[in-house]
Structure 1
Amino acid sequence: MKRIMPIVIAILLTLTFVIPSVSAEEQSTQLVDNARSAILIERDTGTVLYEKNSNEQLPPASMTKIMTMLLIMEALDKGKIDINEKIRTSEYAASMGGSQIFLEPGEEMTTQEMLKGIAIGSGNDASVAMAERIAGSEPAFVEMMNKKAKELGLKDTKFQNTTGLPIQDHYSTAHDMAMMAKELLKYQDITKFTGTYEAYLRENTDNKFWLVNTNKLVRFYPGVDGLKTGFTNDAKYCLTATAQKDGMRVIAVVFGAPTSKERNAQVTKLLDYAFAQYKTHPIYKRNIAIGEAKVSKGNKKKLTVVTSESVSLLTKKGESINDVKKQIIIEKKIKAPINKGDKVGTLQLVSKGKVVVQSPLVSGDKVKTATWWELYKRSFGMFSKIGD
């Protein structure tokens, strides 16, 4: 897509808001005292509410599967795979050790069942089977994972597999894992899987398999509906968790806790702190149409511009907000082909000349390149109007 000067539209929001300075200023209060690193963010704005060694590169163990699930959800969203499509298990995928759902070589499960196996049971075999379906092989899928990490601006993450099984030069950070979780949570359906405590696979067969979520907070902390645990001898006990309460969604990440009980205790403290101290003010939900953009050389002249994620403002509890402007920045020249979900602009919320929230705007439509005949008819019609 050719990029030239964008169009900027500024609109005063009818909100009575004053934006406070929300930051991770509470470092003097050491919320996490028994884990190697941690971070707490508000999902919609990405604001860091607390952090401890959040940029330290560490083995993420099965939290790796957050990126695996993100690429699966992207493929579903773009129509590259179907939720009811049967996914065949290769001999290599079935050979994965560690956490698994015991897929047999040649066994088929739907994408939905595979996602259950990954999100609830942390199935390494299901992760590889899905990777092979989407990218052709696990190494090719790993390339996609690292490319996506770069697209998200994550500088301290490198993947070598889809599962998090121990391997050299495979690492991430609490900060980067939170950003991956933030991106994954754009797809609200993911919490239908990560927020399920128990389920069955092969339910109507002799090989019925019971799944129990490795994230026990899904059952024991109200509002928790994801995302992913991790454990290896090197990584110790890790967890990226998300919870929603009173319209606010937060993400807490802990690396390197000594026990699973301590991991859950540290995350619980982070979640308690977020919900006690902060409040979000929703502005938009995902996929809300907020305008149109012109398309050149497409089979359509215009496309619908929609929000790519939920957009909110964040304050400390008891504080108000005002003087907020909405800026819609749309690329002036957008050239077909355009896929649904391609970025076509940016939404900014501005207070006192400062951008307090920024979020991508995407195409709500697929626009194919116009054929020669379509362009000819369009030009002919334009000349006819001029002649009239």
Structure 2
Amino acid sequence: MTANEPDLKTLIRKLEKRHQKKQATTALLAGTAVLGLIVLISPLFTKQESQPIVEVPGPVAPLTGPDAYANTKIEAKAAIVYDLTTQEVLYAKNSRSQLPLASLTKLLTMYAASDSLKPDATVVMTASALASEGESGFTEGETFAFKDLARIALVASSNDATSAIAETAAIAKATSGQNMLASAVSAMGLSQTYAINGTGLDESTSVSGGYGSAYDVATLSGALLTKAPDIAHATIASSLTIRSKEGVLHTLKNTNPDVVRVPNLLLSKTGFTDLAGGNLAVVFDAGIGHPVAIVVLGSSIDGRFRDVDKLLSLTLDHFAGIDPSSQTAAVGNAL
């Protein structure tokens, strides 16, 4: 680990402090509100010539202090830190540029499939689905509940599972898979996103299976958390076991090895192809019910994790009102 890379223990401490601070602020505001109420009703019971003015603070305003992201350097071609609660862009690097999504496209597929398939709907593992790149251990004719196959499709980035879901959902909507995905894109207003297939696998050496921007992926991640929380939340598990309707157990590992090491994670999805490079989308809780999305596109297979770790650390600094330049100066003076 280099001097510029965030230490995991430091990230954990920052997140814990963030939650404690949020809880303390809530308690303070509640106490102040009670005090204000007492002051307001006291004239009804006590005659006084003059009443002292008590100022009750309003809601905590957004931080307007130093820019925690100033001079940030990451490997990714594009990135965003997007506050899903306030819809504020906290950090952006080419965030509206259209780039290959690789397996981040699977987030779109699960969102679209959730429109036409109920959680317990049966999905059949077909020969065409099994022909997809990669081996997940499924067999032709095996059947699953949509909710189970969708979870493992995202956790393990299974192309077989994703293809089977896309086929079943498209049939249920009496349309093609591509049209189904396009309808979901339109419904969410993702201006830079379109998908040729449901997996995001490259169609050729020059054409990706899905395209979109970092901003669109952040929006999509938040939408999936709202629409299908059980499916989205499964992506934070280090591994997942599901049972087919025939009783066969399947256990697959998460393609993001860091999921269990980052506290308050709500969603994680990796992506990598030759055209896309390394992609990663995560959503974490920066406070109590305060989801923030971090997306990096066009990094490397290892650089995507470093990029997100750095942006996560800086985001916690942002909410704490910490100026990273002052920290650097303090370290320099100490040396």
Give the TM-score taking structure 1 as reference length.
Answer: 0.60
Is the contact between residue 94 and residue 102 of structure 1 (CA under 8 Å) also seen in structure 2? no
For residue 16 of structure 1, what is the aligned residue in structure 2? 58
How big is the alpha-carbon RMSD for the aligned residues of Structure 1 and Structure 2? 2.9
> Which structure 2 residue ranges, 5 or more long, are not aligned?
1-32, 34-56, 323-335
Distance 1:113 1:20, change over 3 A: closer
- Tell me if structure 2 keeps the 8 A contact 1:66–1:227: no
1:190 aligns with 2:228: no
Give the number of the structure whose residues are more often helix, by fraction. 2
- Asked if 1:209 corresponds to 2:250, the answer is yes
Query: Quick one: structure 1 residues 112 and 18, their matched pair in 2 at CA, closer, same or farther if it must change by over 3 Å?
Result: closer
- What is the CA-CA distance between 1:58 and the residue it aligns to? 1.1
SS in structure 2 of the partner of residue 17 of structure 1: coil
In the alignment, what sits opposite 2:148?
A: 113
Distance change (3 Å), C-alpha of 1:133 and 1:28: closer
Deviation at residue 57 of structure 1 after TM alignment? 1.5
Structure 1 equivalent of residue 259 of structure 2: 218
Given that 1:139 and 1:161 are in contact with CA atoms closer than 8 Å, whether structure 2 keeps it comes out as no
1:277 aligned onto 2:277: no
Residue aligning to 1:90: 126
Aligned twin of 2:110: 69
Moved more, 185-194 or 114-123: 185-194
Q: Give % identity.
A: 28
| Structure 1 position 205, deviation (Å) | 8.5
For the pair 1:237 / 2:278, whether they are aligned, the reply is yes
Q: How has the CA–CA distance of structure 1 residues 259 and 89 changed in structure 2, closer, same or farther, with 3 Å as cutoff?
A: closer
Secondary structure in 2 aligned to 1:154? coil
- Alignment of 1:154 with 2:194, yes or no, is no
1:257 match: 299
Deviation (angstroms), 1:278: 2.4
Residues 146 and 159, structure 1, Cα contact 8 Å, conserved in 2: yes
Name structure 1 gaps, 5 residues minimum. Answer: 1-13, 280-315, 318-388
**Is 1:136 the counterpart of 2:171 in the alignment?**
yes
Q: Aligned in 2, Cα 1:217/1:28: closer, same or farther, shift over 3 Å?
A: closer
- Residue of structure 2 equivalent to 1:59: 100
Taking the aligned partners of 1:103 and 1:139, their CA distance within structure 2 comes to 26
Distance 1:204 1:259, change over 3 A: same
Query: 1:127 deviation in Å?
Result: 1.1
Q: Determine helix, strand or coil for the equivalent of 1:259.
A: coil
SS of residue matched to 1:185: helix
Number of positions where the alignment pairs a residue of Structure 1 with one of Structure 2: 260
Match of 1:178 among 218, 226, 230: 218
Q: Is the 1:196–1:225 contact (alpha carbons within 8 Å) kept by the matching residues of 2? A: no
CA distance in 1, matches of 2:267, 2:63: 29
SS at match of 2:268: strand
Q: After superposition, what is the alpha-carbon deviation per residue over 1:84-103, rounded to whole angstroms, capped at 9, x for unaligned?
A: 333112221121113x4233
Corresponding residue number in structure 2 for 1:307: none
Question: Separation in 1 of the partners of 2:64 and 2:112?
Answer: 31
Is contact 1:101-1:117 (8 Å) kept? no
Cα distance in 2 between the residues matched to 1:155 and 1:185? 20
TM-aligned CA distance change 1:135 to 1:49, over 3 Å: same
SS of 1:155's equivalent in the other structure is: coil
Query: Per the alignment, in what secondary structure is the counterpart of residue 240 of structure 2?
Result: strand
Q: What one-letter code is carried by the residue in structure 2 that aligns with 1:258?
A: S
State the Cα deviation string for residues 267-295 of structure 1 (Å, max 9, x = none).
Answer: 0111122223228xxxxxxxxxxxxxxxx
Partner of 2:308: 267
* CA offsets 1:57-81 (integer angstroms, 9 cap, x no match): 21110000111121233x3xxxx43
Q: Which has the higher contact order (CA 8 A, sep 6+)?
A: 2
Question: What is the 5 A alignment of 1:20-31?
Answer: 20=62, 26=67, 29-31=70-72
CA distance in 2 between partners of 1:20 and 1:49 (Å): 11
Aligned partner of 2:79 in structure 1 is: 38
Q: Aligned-pair distance for 1:206?
A: 9.6
Tell me, in whole angstroms, the C-alpha distance in 1 between the residues paired with 2:161 and 2:212.
22
The answer on whether the counterparts of 1:36 and 1:257 sit within 8 Å (CA) in structure 2 is: yes
State the alpha-carbon separation in 1 of the partners of residues 231 and 241 from structure 2. Answer: 17
CA-CA distance at 1:35 after TM superposition: 1.3
Give, in whole Å, the separation in 1 of the partners of 2:73 and 2:145.
40
1:357-376 paired onto structure 2 within 5 Å = none
